[in-house]
Structure 1
Amino acid sequence: MIDGIYILANDVVYDQLVALLNSIEANAGSKIPICILPYNQQLDKVKAELASRDNVTLFEDSDSIAYWDNFATQIWKNYPRAQKTWREWGFPELYELPMHRKFCAVDGPFDRFIYFDADTLLMRPIDYVYEKLDTYDWVVNDFQYKSELKFIFDGSPEQMEQIFNSENLQAKVFCAGWFATKKNIFSPAIRADLLKKLTAGEADVMAFLAPDQSLFNYMVFRSGISYYNFACYDCEQATGNHWSSQFDVVDNILYDQGRRLTYLHYMSISSSKFTQLCAGEDVNIPYRDVFLHYRYLKSPEERPQSFTRPSQLMLLQKSTRSFIQQRVNNIKLNYRNFKDRINGY
């Protein structure tokens, strides 16, 4: 049986990816096999980094990538409320479609695996997580259930009761930035059944600000696979993980009231801030020294020795460039989608 880790990444999150890889190597207690799921084809820096690490590979199963891209496309294109909202927000027709490539992990080489978003840092060994997969099919460790349900599901109470048949769905929802499960947990039959239900109207219960997260929650609960959340059921293992919490730092390890974190999640902090920080700009990031420690763990000579604060003019120029680039990216994506429709894909 092969245990491993998957990470969704590309060159945009390169600095965060390096920090995460180094934190895994430093804190996992063993050299765990790692596979990078490609967010897109922008991978030059990622490939160069992988060449220097004998335990890290790139996921190259094009059939799996195409399958899950198509799976998600069918769902969201058949969800009129999401389409209308994304248009009103100025988002692409298929908002955050590449995030659904996390699903490729169930087709990959690892029998049991843990998925990490690139904006995380590992803080401790994770053997206990793999062991829990001996009993459960899907394992998480987060406090998403204490947030509002509408961020995961926002259908009517009647819809959700009919679909999920659960009295307390709120207590079961999870963050899709970190989870553990098994290869082929969603069999072809399960996938086909869920896709049929979703395109027939059940997608209407899903929220659409983080579409992959809503879809993961739907598929776990609707398929009926067994589920466990350390943060809900195991007080010994339960710690915070969000950057906004107040943690103690000891030798670049974070502790929550004396308990060592499993991971730190920089969720919702723009990757550009980490890029700017690593370029020597004085950017305020929570636990900044901890991040820099892991980012330059293998190349301390490259770590910035001082930081400069950009001028207001530079900040305005960056903001303008970022806005223009986002608009250009949206136009390109919509154009590709238009061509695909014309070509019959």
Structure 2
Amino acid sequence: MNGICTLANDRVFDQLVALLNSIEVNIGRDTPVCIYPFDDKLDRIRAEIQNRPNVSIYDDQDSIRAWDGFMQRIAPERLDQKLRLYGAHRRFCAFDAPFDRFIYMDADTLAISPMNHIFELLNEHDWAVYDFQFLDPSKIYNLDAPKLYEVFSKERIDREIFCSGFYAAKRGLFDRHQRETMIAQLVAGDREILYGGAGEQPVLNYMVMKSGIKSCNLAQLLPFGQSTGCSVTSNHFEEKDHVLYDRGQRLTYIHYIGVKPQRMEEVCRSGMGHFPYRDLFLHYRFLHEPEKRPVLKEAPKPTFVQKVLTKLRRA
């Protein structure tokens, strides 16, 4: 069975609702969706999905504990492991259940197209992504680590790295034996090559590259001019009928990367604030509650003192 996976807690409630509604509209109302719990703060989410029979919350505690333990064991020794452990890695539970093949989407993404073309990539590959993270490997690996190019060639690093916010994969890719092998390699020195500021993302890249599974990136497979962007940092996308286009090509998904949950929550609550493609997000967030959609307001202009303080903070 195919399905969509995501990771959430009540802090990203607004993003999750928008994502679920975008899946309903652009992929299909009956598409199975599994939410992996970032933590135990899920009251609003549980209430929301009572009327969404296609959506479930993952509750295999043995699987969750196993992946918690995996992350604890590979945490750098210089860090308190309890501080190091946070819930973003629980997306890895998708390798255990419930779908045979799945697409993982961060809660701060929107589905813009049907995903058939992504699932089709899994006919020939074990892992598929669609992003341009390979242009900036510094957010995946420590490029100054002496051991980096002993573990992976520069050619592989320049081509194979990916963003962990969107990928397609198969159940059972990383079994217990593979995890133990990777833990041993990381503890023996490989963890020195991981970029330290991006949580589970460098770990997931390492797992995919180290395992040798067959992977691909649609951004590299498509002919020139046929691939699209996926990030809100691109300001040239055109919106038509609540769908985004990149120079005439329909996006597969849009990732609101860098937009903090607090900002989205404030816009949803009061209409104050701005971020790229805000109206598109609000359309999907309030798709079934149009009467609750906020009236957008312009933020008050900062005073001279506020401008000075902002410059000082940036400095």
Q: State TM-score, norm by structure 2.
A: 0.90
Q: Residue in 2 aligned with 1:327?
A: none
Q: Residue in 2 aligned with 1:325?
A: none
1:13 positional shift: 0.4
Q: Residue in 2 aligned with 1:324?
A: none
Q: Residue in 1 aligned with 2:65?
A: 66
Are 1:143 and 2:142 an aligned pair?
A: no
What is the aligned length? 302
1:286 positional shift: 0.9
Are 1:177 and 2:165 an aligned pair?
A: yes
Aligned to 2:216, the other structure's residue is in SS state strand
Structure (1/2) with the larger helix percentage: 1
CA contact (8 A) 2:68 2:85 kept: no
Q: Residue in 2 aligned with 1:230?
A: 218
Q: Residue in 2 aligned with 1:24?
A: 23
1:139 positional shift: 0.3
1:125 positional shift: 0.2
Q: State TM-score, norm by structure 1.
A: 0.83
Aligned to 2:83, the other structure's residue is in SS state coil
Q: Residue in 1 aligned with 2:5?
A: 6
Task: In structure 1, list runs of 5 or more residues that go unmatched.
Answer: 317-345
CA distance in 2, matches of 1:167, 1:47: 45
Letter in 2 for 1:25: E
1:187 positional shift: 1.9
Q: Residue in 1 aligned with 2:100?
A: 111
How well do the aligned residues superpose, as a CA RMSD in angstroms? 2.1
CA contact (8 A) 2:72 2:82 kept: no
Matches within 5 A, 1:254-273: 254-273=244-263
1:211 positional shift: 2.1
CA distance in 1, matches of 2:206, 2:226: 26
Q: Residue in 2 aligned with 1:292?
A: 282
CA distance in 2, matches of 1:126, 1:146: 24
Q: Residue in 1 aligned with 2:310?
A: none
Aligned to 1:184, the other structure's residue is in SS state coil
Letter in 2 for 1:243: V
CA contact (8 A) 1:155 1:204 kept: no
Aligned to 1:51, the other structure's residue is in SS state helix
CA contact (8 A) 1:161 1:167 kept: no
1:244 positional shift: 1.4
Are 1:153 and 2:141 an aligned pair?
A: yes
Aligned to 2:270, the other structure's residue is in SS state coil
Aligned to 2:267, the other structure's residue is in SS state helix
Q: Residue in 2 aligned with 1:196?
A: 184
Q: Determine what percentage of the aligned residue pairs are the same residue.
A: 41
CA distance in 2, matches of 1:131, 1:306: 40
Are 1:134 and 2:100 an aligned pair?
A: no
